[in-house]
Amino acid sequence: MEVVVPCCSCSRVFVNSQLRFAAALAVSGILLILLWTGAADAKSRNNHQIPLQSLESGVDGVSSHSCIHDQIIEQRKRPGRKVYSVTPQVYHEPRSAANSNPHKGRVLLSVLDEHKDVKQPIRIYLNYDAVGHSADRDCQRVGDIVKLGEPPSSPFPAVPACNPNVKPPVSGDCWYNCTLDDISGEDKRHRLRKALEQTADWFRRALAVEPVKGNLRLSGYSACGQDGGVQLPREYVEEGIADTDLVLLVTTRPTTGNTLAWAVACERDQWGRAIAGHVNVAPRHLTSESGTLLSATLIHEVMHVLGFDPHAFAHFRDERKRRRTEVTEQQMDEKLGRIVTRVVLPRVVMHSRHHYGAFSHNFSGLELEDGGGRGTSGSHWEKRLLMNEIMTGSVDTRSVVSKMTLALLEDSGWYKANYSMADRLDWGRNQGTQFVTSPCNTWKGAYHCNTTQLSGCTYNREAEGYCPILSYNGDLPQWARYFPQANKGGQSSLADYCTYFVAYSDGSCTDINSARPPDRMLGEVRGGDSSAYWVCSRFHATGEWLLSA
């Protein structure tokens, strides 16, 4: 007989058939103890009120990066500021249609094929000249007071002071008090260079672009970027940069909260492609402990420079370099109860259909984020639908690059994507059209929980988890009210306050050192060849744990 023990047990216990009845009784008794213990554990997490939108940083115990891209873009749209400059470049010119093919009916195909053939791995040039050199924006000594954004003039020095911990937080257009962690010493600069070089290499393998012919030239009309930007070197304007398709100007200015970095495009070519960008990395996050998170964050932020940006959408081109007329569509969604914006680009839709198994005509595009405040809304994928995809509004060490993100960049008309660089995204895989088009409280199985009383398996069957249902100090939006109490919901505003099982820190089914005390009472053993899938597939299909022979 085979007894499957609860709490996402990853091992299987075999007993003699003569002991079936006794074993079943024993396990049933332990089940009651485990359920009571799990309920008490879960309740302890949900017994106090939480401010709205206060848990985006490491909501399930994992350190994360909160992106502020949209907030920066809004700041740059203020009167008297340029979002970007346009500097035409020289590109490879295909042979004239008349010379390459005298048959007029085949001219267009010939030209398109030749354009596709000329794309080469993108060449990114990293410039560190501005690191640590801004007197009013870089922390050079402990106690320095520097600008974040453009703080207003005030008769009082250093007012307003940056403070992400007050309500509402003061995290932009404020004065920042420098600490030792905010100074970019030699060790931090070394980590910065290593991380950015790895990022540039990743994109070289992931994206191909029509290469600039000769030197890349920039305008130099104004400082490139945000928070004072970076003044372009004169030689970039007069002579240009050889063997380059994109130049990234790097700074190490402080940030607030858990924002590790930010990046914006500041110059585009005649087709709208970014040719220069400003990347800022906060020195206090340049530590040996943040290596993996920093790598994911830099890929995320450079994606914004390359084209994952609402302002870039307006310049997207089709295969004939004509400006696209449909990139996103916005409409009132009656099922979701609010206005949503979806990306309707052809490759994005195709890869989304295959990922979700959403082949119904009701699926028209992939949703963009509409929550999370000014920093994330509109320039990221909807976290409810893509969860740990790298282009959602928060990034952590589990973030992955999906084919949908690479497809969006390829649909820009500027790049050819190498889809072998995409990672496997498990969230929502093969869940069907209803998963994408319906509210999350209608989801089935591992993707939804509605009580703190029980533990369950996480969506990917890799861990035992709890169901975090929080009480906020204000009512949730009407469309996010999944419970009779208007202030109750899940832990993430980016994920539309949906409730789903979150892994216990010691609940892994594959880590041999990860077994919660109740599991050890049962003598369980966990290992790399174990999986919660077997037990969870039965638990979520029936609503109860099984003891099967």
* Residue 261 burial (C-beta neighbours within 10 Å; 0-12, 13-18, 19+): buried
Please check if 351 is assigned to a binding site: no
* Residue 401 burial (C-beta neighbours within 10 Å; 0-12, 13-18, 19+): buried
Q: Provide Rg for the chain, Cα atoms.
A: 26
User: Which residues, including other chains, have CB under 8 Å from residue 139's CB and lie 6 or more apart?
Assistant: 146, 176, 178, 179, 182, 183, 184, 253, 254, 283
* Range 180-218 burial, b when 16+ CB lie within 10 A, else e: eebbbeeebbebbeebbeebbebbbebbbbbbbeebbbb
User: Which residues, including other chains, have CB under 8 Å from residue 229's CB and lie 6 or more apart?
Assistant: 222, 223, 266, 278
Determine what percent of the chain falls in helix, strand and coil, rounding each to the nearest 5. 30, 20, 50
E strands, 196-343, are 207-209, 246-251, 261-268, 274-281, 328-333, 338-343
Q: Rounded CA gap, 1 and 134, in Å? A: 71
Please check if 300 is assigned to a binding site: yes
Q: Taking each helix axis from N to C terminus, what angle separates 186-206 and 291-306, rounded to the nearest 10 degrees? A: 50
Q: Rounded CA gap, 306 and 342, in Å? A: 20
* Active-site residue, from 56, 267, 301, 389: 301
Is residue 301 annotated as part of the catalytic site, yes or no?
Answer: yes
Picking from 341, 398, 371, 402, the residue whose alpha carbon sits closest to that of residue 490 is: 371
- The answer to whether 301 touches 322, Cβ cutoff 8 Å, is no
- The answer to whether 500 touches 543, Cβ cutoff 8 Å, is no
* Residue 65 burial (C-beta neighbours within 10 Å; 0-12, 13-18, 19+): buried
The pair phi, psi for residue 28, each rounded to 5°, is -60, -40
Length of the chain: 549
The HSE-up count of residue 308 (CA atoms within 13 Å, CB side) is: 28
- The answer to whether 358 touches 290, Cβ cutoff 8 Å, is no
User: Which residues, including other chains, have CB under 8 Å from residue 424's CB and lie 6 or more apart?
Assistant: 400
β-strand pairing of 246-251 with 274-281? parallel
Q: Rounded CA gap, 159 and 238, in Å? A: 41
SS3 category, 417: strand
Task: Provide the annotated binding site for Zn(2+).
Answer: 300, 304, 380
Active site residues: 301
